Amino acid sequence: MNQGNALLVAVIVVLLVSGAFWAVLEYAPEGSAWHLLPYVGGPFLGAYWFYRWTEELATEPERQEHRTAFYGLFYFVFAFAFLAVAFAAGFMAAAKLGHSVVGREGHCVATFSEFAYFSVVTGSTLGYGDLRPLGLARLLACCQVVEFWLFLAVAGLLVHRTTSPIRR
């Protein structure tokens, strides 16, 4: 498969998966486990298709380096998803203590999928502004951002170290 065809297949798969995840978020019952699928499954599918695309384009000597890069990327995605779910559980625990996350209309976040959404948006420093933490949840959100930045720095160093052409 040449580079253009591999890229076209990767783009089509990303569009199909994105459409499926949108349908899950739009039509699945609110608060169901299906709402976690886009947050947890999406990064893994993206990493897998990145791997498949680079494998198709690589010659045999380059494949080992691409596999090393893929394992670094997969580690990064897995650890990001794990930290997001762990912090979502932390936000849920803080809500049980009365330190919740609220939306613009003043409603308190109650489902794990909403806490997972808030955790991903906070950890990625995207910050849409549709939800905001109160009380102890503010401290937890600050800790999450610092943790994710430290994690990003360490993951970047590990990926650089394993994929750098100059090895010491």
For residue 136, give the CATH number of its domain.
1.10.287.70
Gap between the Cα atoms of 148 and 119, Å rounded: 11
User: Considering its fold, how many domains does the chain have in total?
Assistant: 1
pLDDT digit string, tens, across residues 7-46: 667 667 767 777 777 677 677 776 666 666 666 666 666 6
Name the average pLDDT for the chain.
Answer: 75
- Residues 6+ positions from 129 with CB-CB distance below 8 Å: 104
Domain assignment present for residue 49? The answer is yes
Domain assignment present for residue 168? The answer is no
Query: Per-residue pLDDT for 1 more than 60?
Result: no
Give the C-alpha distances (Å, rounded to integers) separating 149 from 116, 130, 146. Answer: 18, 22, 5
Query: Which alpha helices (DSSP H) does the chain contain, by range?
Result: 3-27, 37-57, 60-96, 112-123, 136-163
Domain assignment present for residue 67? The answer is yes
Token readout for 83 is: 């930290």
Which pLDDT score is estimated for 55? 66
- Which element (helix H / strand E) includes 103? strand 101-103
% of the chain at pLDDT higher than 90 = 2
Binned at pLDDT 50, 70 and 90, residue 80 comes out as: confident
Domain membership of residue 30 as a residue range = 3-163
Q: Bridge partners of 103?
A: 131
Burial of 14: CB neighbours in 10 Å, binned 0-12, 13-18, 19+: middle
- Residues 6+ positions from 9 with CB-CB distance below 8 Å: 1, 53
